Structure 1
């Protein structure tokens, strides 16, 4: 079964026949590099690679990965997503690209799509809080405030207004984390850098969701640089930011609540340095495993009448958006119903 591979240690990645050979390195007490035993990964088992440590490779390897359709996502020392190697687009469509650009240039269409992304995201945030409210957490006040703000989305006629409403809703939503979580406090949302454990998990999880969405977009005829909610910019796949808004509550936030309340991740899994809080290597491995478990979890899809995984659900969302852009079917964001 194909799966994602996460490279936490620095090392050298090479092609060995039809296999990937990864030789990781560590440092001894004197600061000298020590090569560890090589690990061989059959290319047929790989969907994508996540490089959290320094990765040495040559063009032969990237040619091989490109031929096999395997992307590589890179993160810096501070766990910030820095970019991806993406194989050549195999699903190019001039018709889809023109239609997507036209949808962006139309103020009404762009605003309608942006509003739908936020409606889906807010619905899923509220469903998260409802879940814990039914389990004895007093979240009625937060839910009521979020619903009241969500009703004002219809009055917003510009993307900037929609983003403003979303910011206010998310502020209330994040304030509820201190009620949902048993032993950790979030406080104010801080990103660059995250200043406490909960903020560190949110930033790390959101980046994972972003790269998973990028892979899903790449498997369709959508262009990842033309977005509707977030402003398209240089050197970023802003459409992935749009679509991932819908899935961050039901994938990332649910995983955070689970690993913290079940004590899978504890204080000792973080490094705190100079007002910066980051997961250490052990903590990353635990959180990544929990995210993979969530991605592979299946549920009964109402419209399709069959079980689908959360990973496949992201891809389905991309196809729904593409159908709207091409004028085939109106886009409706995915909303949790359990």
Structure 2
């Protein structure tokens, strides 16, 4: 089964027969291409057109991150499974205001429900989140009343602001969060930015294995941004995968002050910090549970793929899409 490979060292990527070769100052590593699904490139890596052609031929995605761990972009080989019929259905749903809004609502409903389930678990542990849960219940009830995607995104923004507002209660005063974008101003924002990027790229990789077009989202505008569908699906999985990972590494005291760097006005994960989070991220995606419908064990990486299959069935009119619910 092909797996993602994370490259933190600087060096050179090249092709040798049917093998990906990663050459660094320390060593030369040979990776059979059949065992690689994606390359996550955090170091300064040189590569050439011949190598990209090889990756395109084999369906290997490349995700690039800058020196601060920011997601820079992906090399997304020509879609080998794209279906003209399904692409037309995606476009129809996007161009029809009612159908687009209906799908956008599902993504927001799924995200808010998973946030509420996460907070209910915290409430059971004695955390003071009652008022926030009440507010989120109220906002969730309003999702069906909004009339535009813009109104829906504004409502979702209010809900997340309330949710992030109790993170100091959940994680302690040392990890106070005042939500900021770029650059992140504190360690929690640095963690959020990095884990969300890992989630976006993990979903993008799974979209590549379906008939869906990643450029056509429903909650997020299909505009000059290269991809938007992965951002839609990420709304459902942020609380379940990314946020729970952050809670876990902090509560286990895995992250130390040395895992963060301050440059200018920003705070960023160090290389050691990124390595630690990536290791925990892969453990998360490989974790299995018993699927209630399939009656067998599936991983969370497979769960993302199954979510996309549900979306495909919705678009072709087979079955209405219902978002993943946190167990």
What TM-score do the two structures reach when normalised by structure 1?
0.94
CA contact under 8 A between 1:19 and 1:41: conserved in structure 2? yes
CA contact under 8 A between 2:218 and 2:229: conserved in structure 1? yes
**Counterpart Cα distance in 2 of 1:235 and 1:267:** 35
Give the equivalent residue in structure 1 for 2:85.
Answer: 95
Question: Could you say what the CA RMSD is over the residues aligned between the two structures, in angstroms?
Answer: 1.2
Task: Determine if the alignment matches structure 1 residue 144 to structure 2 residue 134.
Answer: yes
Give the equivalent residue in structure 2 for 1:39.
Answer: 29
Give the equivalent residue in structure 2 for 1:250.
Answer: 240
**Counterpart Cα distance in 1 of 2:189 and 2:209:** 31
**Counterpart Cα distance in 1 of 2:29 and 2:324:** 40
Q: C-alpha displacement at 1:243, in angstroms?
A: 0.5
CA contact under 8 A between 2:245 and 2:284: conserved in structure 1? yes
Kindly tell me the number of residue pairs found equivalent between the two proteins: 327
Give the equivalent residue in structure 2 for 1:74.
Answer: 64
Give the equivalent residue in structure 1 for 2:14.
Answer: 14
Give the equivalent residue in structure 2 for 1:27.
Answer: none
Give the equivalent residue in structure 2 for 1:299.
Answer: 289
- Specify the SS of the correspondent of 2:175: coil
Which structure 2 residue ranges, 5 or more long, are not aligned?
none
Task: Determine if the alignment matches structure 1 residue 58 to structure 2 residue 48.
Answer: yes
Q: 1:65-90, CA deviations, whole angstroms, 9 ceiling, x for partnerless residues?
A: 22221110011122221211122211
Q: C-alpha displacement at 1:54, in angstroms?
A: 1.9
Give the equivalent residue in structure 1 for 2:217.
Answer: 227
Q: C-alpha displacement at 1:42, in angstroms?
A: 2.2
Q: C-alpha displacement at 1:183, in angstroms?
A: 5.6
CA contact under 8 A between 1:186 and 1:199: conserved in structure 2? no
- Specify the SS of the correspondent of 2:253: coil
Q: 1:114-150, CA deviations, whole angstroms, 9 ceiling, x for partnerless residues?
A: 0110000001111111111111211111111111111
Give the equivalent residue in structure 2 for 1:195.
Answer: 185
Task: Determine if the alignment matches structure 1 residue 319 to structure 2 residue 309.
Answer: yes
CA contact under 8 A between 1:184 and 1:198: conserved in structure 2? no
**Counterpart Cα distance in 2 of 1:205 and 1:121:** 16
Q: C-alpha displacement at 1:184, in angstroms?
A: 3.2
Q: C-alpha displacement at 1:226, in angstroms?
A: 0.8
Q: 1:198-230, CA deviations, whole angstroms, 9 ceiling, x for partnerless residues?
A: 000000000000001101111111111111101
Name the CA shift for 1:312/1:329 in 2 (closer, same or farther; >3 Å): same
Task: Determine if the alignment matches structure 1 residue 332 to structure 2 residue 283.
Answer: no
Residue in structure 1 matching 2:270, options 240, 263, 280: 280
**Counterpart Cα distance in 1 of 2:154 and 2:274:** 32
What TM-score do the two structures reach when normalised by structure 2?
0.97
CA contact under 8 A between 2:255 and 2:273: conserved in structure 1? yes
CA contact under 8 A between 1:182 and 1:261: conserved in structure 2? no
Q: 1:216-249, CA deviations, whole angstroms, 9 ceiling, x for partnerless residues?
A: 1111111111111011121421111001110111
- Specify the SS of the correspondent of 1:184: helix
CA contact under 8 A between 2:290 and 2:297: conserved in structure 1? yes
**Counterpart Cα distance in 2 of 1:84 and 1:6:** 14
**Greater shift in the superposed pair: 61-70 or 204-213:** 61-70
- Specify the SS of the correspondent of 1:108: helix
- Specify the SS of the correspondent of 2:174: coil
**Counterpart Cα distance in 1 of 2:210 and 2:32:** 26
Q: C-alpha displacement at 1:2, in angstroms?
A: 3.1
